[in-house]
Structure 1
Amino acid sequence: MPTVREISLEVMREVGMTTVFGNPGSTELPMFRDFPADFRYVMGLQESIVLGMADGYAQGTGRAALVNLHSSAGVGHALGNLFTAYKNQTPLVVTAGQQARSILPYEPFLFAERASEFPRPFVKWSCEPARAEDVPAALHRAWLVAMEPPRGPTFVSIPIDDWDRECEPFVLRKVHPARAPDSIALAECANALARSDRPAFVVGAGVARDGVWDEVVALAERHNAAVWVAPMSARCSFPENHPLFAGFLTAAREAIVSALAPYDFVLALGGPMNLYHVEGGGLHVPESCEVWLIGDNHVHAAWAPAGTAIVGNCRDAIVSLLAEGGVAQRTAPMSRLHPEPLDGAVMSDAFVLQRLAALRDPHSIIVEEAPSSRGAMHDRLPIVHKDTFYTTASGGLGHGLPAAVGMAMARPEEKVVAVLGDGSAMYAIQGLHAAVQHGLPVSFIIIKNNRYEALHHFGHHFGMQELVGTKFPELDFCKIAEGHGLTARRAVDAASLDAALSWSLASKDPTLVEAIVA
């Protein structure tokens, strides 16, 4: 009879999980005995790096990625980026080793107590199979649940001695999850949109996940609707150079109401519209505004504070709305105002992003984790093509750098540019090693302001003028990069910035640019 390992590898092969991201310990090694030649193993130097790379890879391919971690300690290290993957709605199957079943009653060294509970609530489903023979079925179920909307991570704990046990062959089942939005509700939404005088759309990451960029553009143009980006959206869902693009909603109650006040109808697509980062008060939406929400995440629909929600795939919904005939004539909304170009007299983050926008191929992929520069990015680095922007939906740090590595693996024909804050980069700096090991031409752009700038912004919000423990002027990212095997350049002014960016963007190898800003 075949072994659990042989049957499990066949399950992984059939569902397309042949790239394994991992950092194994002793309890995981039997999984890799006679590792198949058609599988690829991607090593990360710390478990959070592993999760981040897998997240980027899964988002880039649109398929669940397989992650292999080490019992409790490894899973614990990975939890921050597991939380981000959960918020990103990234499909992942996370496996972790467990000590041999025969010694579990004695609490052995490096075992996982209550292993299936540890990663909750940031996985959709979790288990430790009751028998070794159940491992292939558990892996298949984990893949099915990860891929079912709303997508997200799942977890399977596997004892070390399960892999070599004999196992009956396992036949994969076909599951077609129903996610078509309610047709009667969509007809009501279409009627409300048609009779509105001043409509607006708010687009979230679900628009990108469901591949409906072009259709949203067509629907907005048909209705002359202003288009806003949902607060903290982790994907690009509308061209930011389009005349109907209105800007980015701020994650604050009063700011959202103020921005949407000119409209009598708002259609939120693919993500939460009322996502808050600071406490507020008053209304959640303008008093005279009718709000509809469409997305595949039933949790978002449940906690939305206002509006009528339709749970379903954005593509199906937008195609249905486009099929509705006729539209009232409306005046186009006012175009978004753009700031004046900077002359480079001051080396600021805004100037760095302005020059990056000018020098990069607009089809290149931006993976961003520079929270304090997000406003400057919105103003100076427009995203104009679909599937070319990714960031963390959780707000947790340490995702962007390894996610850029995973993205480069998923889409090797496209240039990947990682835009990182210096503090953010240090959460996951070991990811540089994987970029070198796999020869990935990622451009790592470090915006170095020598401190956690986002905390200083929030310090002012709370009336604090000085913060402790938030500065790190000693870091030298060029030396750090060279220690990992990358070539690096430092930019201190406009001339050296253009030279460094041009060199990095043209390179076929991984490179790093340290841009020192005021």
Structure 2
Amino acid sequence: MKTVREVTFDLLRRLDLTTIVGNPGSTEETFLKNFPEDFNYILALQECSVVGIADGLSQGLKKPVIVNVHTGAGMGNAMGCILSAFVNKTPLIITAGQQTRDMLLSEPFLTNVEAANFPKPWVKWSHEPARAQDVPGAFMRAYATAIQQPAGPVFLSLPLDDWDQEMEDIDVYRTTSTRTAPDPTRITEFAARINQSKNPVLVYGGDIARSNGWDEGITLAEMVNAPVWNGPFSERISFPENHPLFKGALPAAIGPLSKALHGHDLVVVIGAPVFRYYPWVAGDYLPSGATLLQITDSPYEAAKAVVGDSLVSDSKLAIIELSKLITPRNTQPHAAPESTSKSIILEDIKYPLTAEQLFAVLSEHVPEDYILVQESPSNIPELSRSRLGTICKPDSYYTMGSGGLGWDMPAAVGLAFAEKWSGRNRPVIVIMGDGSFQYSPQAIWTAVQHGLHITIVVPKNEEYGILKSFALLEETPNVPGLDLPGIDIVSLAKGYGAKAHYAEKTEDIHDLFKKALDSKGVTVIEVPIDKHIHALLDD
């Protein structure tokens, strides 16, 4: 006979689940006692950071990661990033301790009441084993559920007295497929409609990146010779933004999105929802005379699409099959958009800099390979127009698809772990608004303790700039709570052990950013920018 712990850890080894990101509490210590030497434990200082770090690590390594948080209260802290992991389709196995089984009826202190219901609907499966001996099997089912498309987080509630219970050394290990191939009849229909279209347009989303379909997506776009847009609020970039066919990111509102697609008779959405709308701006879902095709790995996204015909499939597999049936178009390629001259952006410098000027300065030192993580909502348009924000290589851009602040800082830490462990060693560059910075600053401590290479640039406008843009759109003047005076970013970062600097002049920004990229460790650079509030949506 073995213990539940021994059988479970043997299973985790076979599944290659030997990294646990956590913040332990009393109900988790029985799981973690005599922690095996061949496992890694990554400590984060708050449960939101725990999940965010695991999410970034999982995406960077392209494999599931175990999360371990405290019972009900810890799960409450973690829920914001669990929601983001669900939208990001990240396969996390989230565990939380539960009180002793013998006391559960009376709901003692730290009981996770209705534990399996707590994280719903933001996990694919949620379970508390009925017997201690069911724990290994529950982990196996959790793993199989997490990795199947659409991938996503799952949750296990684990009573603290289960681990030392005896059980037979049963083998619950099994394998399952992880990708969904396209229906042959449906893919043939989609290819025929693309071939018949006079002026098609492509919209790419994060599923293509997750299925490693970067090159295949380029091939399809060039065969169809159609412009390519990023879907609204895309959490990954799946097409090179310096490609002549690239158009930009679609606006996230019904009317403006339809207007951006004007003139096209067929909209082909691959790997993205149809669509992530926000805010409400009335209009037609599609331009007059246009129809839509959607390819997604999620039956849920296919069912809730507001318009169009859907095919449930892995994006890469679908693109491969489509490309076999597409008749290449011999028209001239679209011209690449002209970039704004750096000299124009940086002429007539006045301080504080604009966001566009800051990103132009940073762009002068961008390395050949890097990872960009951004959580500065009010500055996304300026960042996207800069060289720094122009993503040209696969697996180089990450953000949350949920809109929940507090994900990107810890996710950058997880991505930096993945770069270090994989040997790729690309620097992780984070653009973090001063408001966003406050949601998960404690993630910096984990990065410092593990010697990770992260450069965090904070454009500081002392306000929730994105909310002021919404206020203009929604005609809601005098909303309180939108200004953020008196926050010392440098001191906060130094408190967690990072190298931290305040830089206002362009020459100082040049010097500090270059040194941060050339040296290892965690560096935070706080840069004041102007407080210009721009329109949320283009006219």
Does residue 1:123 correspond to 2:129, yes or no? no
Q: Which moved more, 1:292-301 or 1:460-469?
A: 460-469
Does residue 1:353 correspond to 2:354, yes or no? no
> Which residue number in structure 2 is paired with residue 333 of structure 1?
334
Q: Distance in 1 between matches of 2:179 and 2:354?
A: 49
Give the secondary structure class of the aligned counterpart of 1:247: strand
Does residue 1:510 correspond to 2:522, yes or no? yes
Is residue 203–residue 229 contact of structure 1 (8 Å, CA) maintained in 2? yes
Distance apart, 1:40 and its partner CA: 0.6
Distance apart, 1:333 and its partner CA: 3.5
The letter for the 2-side match of 1:219 is L
Q: Distance in 1 between matches of 2:500 and 2:23?
A: 27
Is residue 191–residue 326 contact of structure 2 (8 Å, CA) maintained in 1? no
The letter for the 2-side match of 1:515 is V
Q: Which moved more, 1:395-404 or 1:471-480?
A: 471-480
Give the secondary structure class of the aligned counterpart of 1:513: strand
Q: Distance in 2 between matches of 1:14 and 1:414?
A: 29
Distance apart, 1:327 and its partner CA: 2.3
The letter for the 2-side match of 1:85 is A
- For normalisation by structure 2, the TM-score amounts to 0.94
Q: Distance in 2 between matches of 1:11 and 1:419?
A: 39
Distance apart, 1:337 and its partner CA: 4.5
Is residue 253–residue 281 contact of structure 1 (8 Å, CA) maintained in 2? yes
Where has structure 1 moved over 4 Å in runs of 4 or more?
A: none
Structure 1: which 5+ residue stretches go unaligned? none
> Which residue number in structure 2 is paired with residue 200 of structure 1?
201
- Relative to structure 1, the CA distance from residue 5 to residue 496 in structure 2 (aligned partners, 3 Å threshold; closer, same or farther) is same
Q: Which moved more, 1:154-163 or 1:459-468?
A: 459-468
> Which residue number in structure 2 is paired with residue 468 of structure 1?
480
- Relative to structure 1, the CA distance from residue 177 to residue 437 in structure 2 (aligned partners, 3 Å threshold; closer, same or farther) is closer
> Which residue number in structure 2 is paired with residue 300 of structure 1?
301
> Which residue number in structure 1 is paired with residue 402 of structure 2?
394
The letter for the 1-side match of 2:275 is N
What are the superposed Cα offsets for residues 363-404 of structure 1, whole Å, 9 maximum, x if unpaired? 200111111111111111211111000001000000010000
> Which residue number in structure 1 is paired with residue 237 of structure 2?
236
Q: Which moved more, 1:275-284 or 1:218-227?
A: 275-284
Give the secondary structure class of the aligned counterpart of 1:123: coil
Does residue 1:488 correspond to 2:500, yes or no? yes
Give the secondary structure class of the aligned counterpart of 1:97: strand
Q: Distance in 1 between matches of 2:305 and 2:152?
A: 20
Give the secondary structure class of the aligned counterpart of 1:144: helix
Is residue 274–residue 284 contact of structure 1 (8 Å, CA) maintained in 2? no
Give the secondary structure class of the aligned counterpart of 2:156: strand
What are the superposed Cα offsets for residues 66-102 of structure 1, whole Å, 9 maximum, x if unpaired? 0001110000000011111111111100000001100
Is residue 89–residue 152 contact of structure 1 (8 Å, CA) maintained in 2? yes
Distance apart, 1:59 and its partner CA: 0.7
Does residue 1:321 correspond to 2:327, yes or no? no
> Which residue number in structure 2 is paired with residue 382 of structure 1?
390
- Relative to structure 1, the CA distance from residue 426 to residue 178 in structure 2 (aligned partners, 3 Å threshold; closer, same or farther) is closer
The letter for the 1-side match of 2:333 is A
Is residue 194–residue 326 contact of structure 2 (8 Å, CA) maintained in 1? no
Is residue 256–residue 281 contact of structure 2 (8 Å, CA) maintained in 1? no
Distance apart, 1:177 and its partner CA: 4.7
- Relative to structure 1, the CA distance from residue 90 to residue 321 in structure 2 (aligned partners, 3 Å threshold; closer, same or farther) is same
The letter for the 2-side match of 1:352 is L
The letter for the 1-side match of 2:392 is V
Is residue 93–residue 142 contact of structure 2 (8 Å, CA) maintained in 1? yes
Distance apart, 1:309 and its partner CA: 0.5
Distance apart, 1:273 and its partner CA: 3.4
Structure 2: which 5+ residue stretches go unaligned? 531-539
Q: Distance in 2 between matches of 1:494 and 1:382?
A: 21
- Relative to structure 1, the CA distance from residue 91 to residue 261 in structure 2 (aligned partners, 3 Å threshold; closer, same or farther) is same
Q: Distance in 2 between matches of 1:356 and 1:495?
A: 11
Q: Distance in 2 between matches of 1:466 and 1:435?
A: 39
Q: Distance in 2 between matches of 1:325 and 1:483?
A: 57
The letter for the 2-side match of 1:369 is E
Distance apart, 1:281 and its partner CA: 2.5
Is residue 7–residue 170 contact of structure 1 (8 Å, CA) maintained in 2? yes
> Which residue number in structure 1 is paired with residue 428 of structure 2?
416
RMSD of aligned alpha carbons: 1.3
- For normalisation by structure 1, the TM-score amounts to 0.98
Q: Which moved more, 1:492-501 or 1:62-71?
A: 492-501
Does residue 1:170 correspond to 2:170, yes or no? yes
Does residue 1:433 correspond to 2:445, yes or no? yes
Q: 1:454 aligns with which of 462, 466, 475?
A: 466
The letter for the 1-side match of 2:274 is M
The letter for the 1-side match of 2:475 is G
Does residue 1:25 correspond to 2:25, yes or no? yes
Q: Distance in 1 between matches of 2:519 and 2:526?
A: 16
> Which residue number in structure 2 is paired with residue 158 of structure 1?
158
Q: Distance in 1 between matches of 2:372 and 2:274?
A: 23
Distance apart, 1:272 and its partner CA: 1.1
Q: Distance in 1 between matches of 2:150 and 2:218?
A: 23
Matched positions, count = 518
Q: Distance in 2 between matches of 1:452 and 1:401?
A: 17
> Which residue number in structure 2 is paired with residue 227 of structure 1?
228
- Relative to structure 1, the CA distance from residue 467 to residue 516 in structure 2 (aligned partners, 3 Å threshold; closer, same or farther) is same
Does residue 1:444 correspond to 2:449, yes or no? no
Distance apart, 1:355 and its partner CA: 2.3
Q: Distance in 1 between matches of 2:329 and 2:22?
A: 55
Distance apart, 1:334 and its partner CA: 4.8
Q: Distance in 2 between matches of 1:292 and 1:46?
A: 42
Distance apart, 1:265 and its partner CA: 1.8
Q: Distance in 1 between matches of 2:236 and 2:326?
A: 30
Q: Distance in 1 between matches of 2:81 and 2:470?
A: 23
> Which residue number in structure 2 is paired with residue 265 of structure 1?
266
Q: Distance in 2 between matches of 1:371 and 1:101?
A: 45
Does residue 1:368 correspond to 2:374, yes or no? yes
Q: Distance in 2 between matches of 1:69 and 1:424?
A: 23
Give the secondary structure class of the aligned counterpart of 1:95: strand
Is residue 126–residue 154 contact of structure 1 (8 Å, CA) maintained in 2? yes
Distance apart, 1:478 and its partner CA: 1.2
Is residue 8–residue 135 contact of structure 2 (8 Å, CA) maintained in 1? yes
Distance apart, 1:111 and its partner CA: 1.0
The letter for the 2-side match of 1:122 is W
Q: Which moved more, 1:335-344 or 1:97-106?
A: 335-344
Q: Which moved more, 1:464-473 or 1:429-438?
A: 464-473
Distance apart, 1:32 and its partner CA: 1.3
The letter for the 2-side match of 1:348 is T
* Residue correspondence of structure 1 range 43-192 to structure 2 within 5 A: 43-171=43-171, 172-177=173-178, 179-192=180-193
Give the secondary structure class of the aligned counterpart of 2:34: coil
Q: Distance in 1 between matches of 2:238 and 2:362?
A: 21
The letter for the 2-side match of 1:349 is A
Is residue 236–residue 397 contact of structure 2 (8 Å, CA) maintained in 1? yes
What are the superposed Cα offsets for residues 324-373 of structure 1, whole Å, 9 maximum, x if unpaired? 26323324335435334311614111222222222111420011111111
